[in-house]
Amino acid sequence: MLRDSRTKSFPMKASRIVDGYKKHAVILTLLGLLVLYVAYEFLSGIFVYSRDAYITTDVISVAPEVSGPMGFLAVKDNQRIKKGDLLIKINREPFQLEVNRLQANLDLANAQADKAKQAVAIALDRIASRQAQFEDSKTSFERAAELRKSGVIAQQALDDARRAYDVARAASSDSPASMTKV
């Protein structure tokens, strides 16, 4: 009989024990997960690792007034800066080369302008010379015509004076055209 009472109570005690272990296993599992989560949060604040990380930070875009190759970087990573601090220096060499090229072009243009002024002065002198030749040949022709009427000079001298007058008149009428050719 003893045996019967033990065997009857044993399954009841075993089911209570198993139920107790089940409750404790669930609580222990939840407690273990809580400890793992707290450890993860704590350690992830100290040790940062990610294969595909995104970092959020304060980023300010900076652009220079002129573009060019950077000659000198005056700041270091994560350095705090204030308004007016030197950040970068742009290399001056390309700009100086451009200034030198433009100065050379300006000097060339000034030299060409001086040459053009000299050409205009020469053309104006030629026009004045042709005009003087024209006036002289006109006066000579008129004198020769009067002298021929009085019979003092030969017809050949009058013809020579007329030819010189016609040539001077043609040359003075070509003056604007000859000025554009110079």
List, for residues 125-182, the tens digit of each pLDDT value: 999 998 998 999 999 999 899 888 988 888 898 899 999 999 888 887 765 544 444 4
pLDDT of residue 84: 87
96 inside domain: yes
pLDDT, average across residues 63-76: 86
More confident residue, 28 or 107: 107
109 inside domain: yes
Same domain, yes or no, for 118 and 45? no
Q: What is the mean pLDDT of the chain?
A: 82
pLDDT of residue 50: 65
8 inside domain: yes
Q: Among 75, 105, 104, 101, which Cα is nearest to 88's?
A: 75
Q: Among 96, 98, 92, which Cα is nearest to 72's?
A: 92
What the block records as the tokens of 99 is 């200034």
- Tell me the whole-structure pTM to 2 decimals: 0.45
Q: Which amino acid is at 22?
A: K
Contact 88, 70 (CB under 8 A): yes
Provide the domain count of the chain.
2
pLDDT, average across residues 66-85: 87
Residues of the chain with pLDDT > 70, as a percent, come to 80
Same domain, yes or no, for 167 and 117? yes
Same domain, yes or no, for 40 and 96? no
Rounded distance, CA 86 to CA 52, Å?
Answer: 34
pLDDT of residue 120: 95
Q: Give the long-range contacts of residues 168-172, CB within 8 A, separation 24 or more.
A: 168/130, 168/133, 168/134, 168/136, 168/137, 168/138, 169/134, 169/137, 169/138, 171/130, 171/133, 171/134, 172/127, 172/130, 172/131, 172/133, 172/134
14 inside domain: yes
Same domain, yes or no, for 44 and 107? no
Q: What are the helix and strand counts (H, E) for the chain? A: 4, 2
Instruction: Say if residue 6's pLDDT is above 70.
Output: no
76 inside domain: no
Instruction: Say if residue 22's pLDDT is above 60.
Output: yes
pLDDT of residue 33: 95
66 inside domain: no
71 inside domain: no
